[in-house]
Structure 1
Amino acid sequence: MAPDFSSIKPGSSPSVAATSSSSTAEPGSWKAAYNRIPNWKKYGFLTFFVLSIVVVLVAATMGGGGSTSSDTVRTGHGPNEITNGIPHGYDHTQAGAQTAATNFIQVANQVSLGRITAEDAKSNLVGSEATDALTAVLDDSASQAEETVMNVLPALVNVTDYSDDRAVVSVWAVSASQNDLSGTGNVSVITIWATTTVTVQWENEDWKAVDWSFRTGPEPSEVSFPEGDSTLAEFGANGLYTFFVE
């Protein structure tokens, strides 16, 4: 249909009808206020909003819904879990066996210092066929004085026998203790080199300690060329075991 120009007289100017466009905002409206905001502020607010949502989602995923007594960890050979401060959950490998044996020695030391209970150590680390000698290590450990410091540092770890369900691990270590000398306030420091042999058994998908033997020595000066029947005469593990971390 053609436009109707009959009402327009010569010399007059055509009137333009006002249109109510949705894109035109009235002064004082929220749209007008929004249009006056610089674009860089609009984009900055949008970016901040998106990042806030991402942070909340990540925190909800990783938070786990509260604290527990167990923590999951991961190394190349175990432990894979720590319960009440006790590492457990080792790989079904020779490296996992020697790590479990070494950490059992560390836990026994923690029991003697009163930091870990014998019951917790048994429930996480001791097998069903444990010998009396092994359970006595935990049961007979007397708590030391609170000011006593004792650290056990493994120097060499040897696996003297290994199968899929059993391993015998020899740990040559130095123990360094520090305490008050007879209540005088003077510090006494004692170091002892010793060899501890721990037998572990594969049980319930983990290496469990079932036997234990201990003897002092040898001193470092005695093992420059170890005797053939010494476990130190064989090459040991090259740092595969994990130290106990409180």
Structure 2
Amino acid sequence: MKVLDGVPVGYAHTQAGAVEAAVNYQIARSSAKYFTDTAIRHKTIAAMATSGARAQLIANDDAGMKQVLASLGISGAGADTLVARAAAMGTKADSYTDQVATVEVWMAGLIGTTSNNAPLPVSSSWTTYTLTLQWQDGDWKLASVNSVNGPTPVSTGSDPSSVDDFRTLNGEFDAPPYVG
């Protein structure tokens, strides 16, 4: 495996390789920089997408990220207040051939801002993503991605951490490395 524009690429031509690619591609799509930096988002998509899907994925994710950032009250100047992290909780290969694989990735995420005036403080999310991958140019490449909410566990009843706590921890802790 190697890294291209910050994205691990070069997966095994196996079902396990397709699952590993799906997890890493979805984690790459969940970083704060992916949300806030158009150039990084476009390079990330170029590294992980099929040639036929790139334009549509760019259009979809550009529109989606713009909507998410607007709902969070983030403009270019406030991009450094965004907390966006995700971790895979489980995977399921729905279908697999040596040319096309469909993989579900159940993920837990954090999204929100560390601004004291945030319309949405850092909150958890639970989402299941379905990624369709195609074998192209000697690697598993992303052809499409869809999502549904959940499954979502019951809250532990713990008191939420403060905005200041998230601001500090987001600056002190790096996101975990990609799997694989």
Normalised by the size of structure 1, how large is the TM-score? 0.52
1:81 is matched with which residue? 2
Aligned residues: 144
Q: Structure 1 CA distance, aligned partners of 2:134 and 2:30?
A: 21
Q: Structure 1 CA distance, aligned partners of 2:84 and 2:41?
A: 18
Instruction: Identify the match of residue 153 of structure 1 among 87, 94, 106.
Output: 87
Gaps of 5+ in 1: 1-79, 222-241
Q: Structure 2 CA distance, aligned partners of 1:135 and 1:211?
A: 11
Instruction: Identify the match of residue 139 of structure 2 among 203, 206, 215.
Output: 206
Q: Cα gap change, 1:106/1:96 in structure 2, threshold over 3 Å: closer, same or farther?
A: same
State which structure, 1 or 2, has the greater radius of gyration over its C-alpha atoms.
1
Residues 177-197 of structure 1, C-alpha deviations (whole Å, 9 max, x = no match): 24235537xx93300111110
What SS does the aligned partner of 1:220 have? coil
Greater RCO (Cα-Cα under 8 Å, separation 6 or more): 2
Q: Structure 1 CA distance, aligned partners of 2:178 and 2:61?
A: 16
1:109 is matched with which residue? 30
User: Runs of 4+ in structure 1 displaced over 4 angstroms?
Assistant: none
Determine if contact 2:8/2:178 at 8 Å carries over to the other structure.
yes
Determine if contact 1:107/1:116 at 8 Å carries over to the other structure.
no
Name the % identity.
28
User: How far off its partner does 1:114 sit?
Assistant: 2.5
Question: Greater strand percent: which structure?
Answer: 2
Q: Quick one: which amino acid aligns to residue 97 of structure 2?
A: S
Q: Quick one: which amino acid aligns to residue 192 of structure 1?
A: S
The yes-or-no answer on 1:99 pairing with 2:99 is no
User: How far off its partner does 1:131 sit?
Assistant: 7.8
Residues 109-136 of structure 1, C-alpha deviations (whole Å, 9 max, x = no match): 2311428623312321110232876343
Determine if contact 1:131/1:211 at 8 Å carries over to the other structure.
no
Instruction: Identify the match of residue 215 of structure 1 among 135, 138, 148.
Output: 148
Matches within 5 A, 1:1-246: 80-110=1-31, 111-114=34-37, 117-130=40-53, 134-140=57-63, 141-142=65-66, 145-181=79-115, 183=117, 188-221=121-154, 244=178
Determine if contact 1:102/1:243 at 8 Å carries over to the other structure.
no
Q: Structure 1 CA distance, aligned partners of 2:150 and 2:94?
A: 18
1:73 is matched with which residue? none
Gaps of 5+ in 2: 155-175
**What's the Cα RMSD here?**
2.7
Q: Quick one: which amino acid aligns to residue 171 of structure 1?
A: V
Q: Structure 1 CA distance, aligned partners of 2:142 and 2:7?
A: 14
User: How far off its partner does 1:85 sit?
Assistant: 1.4
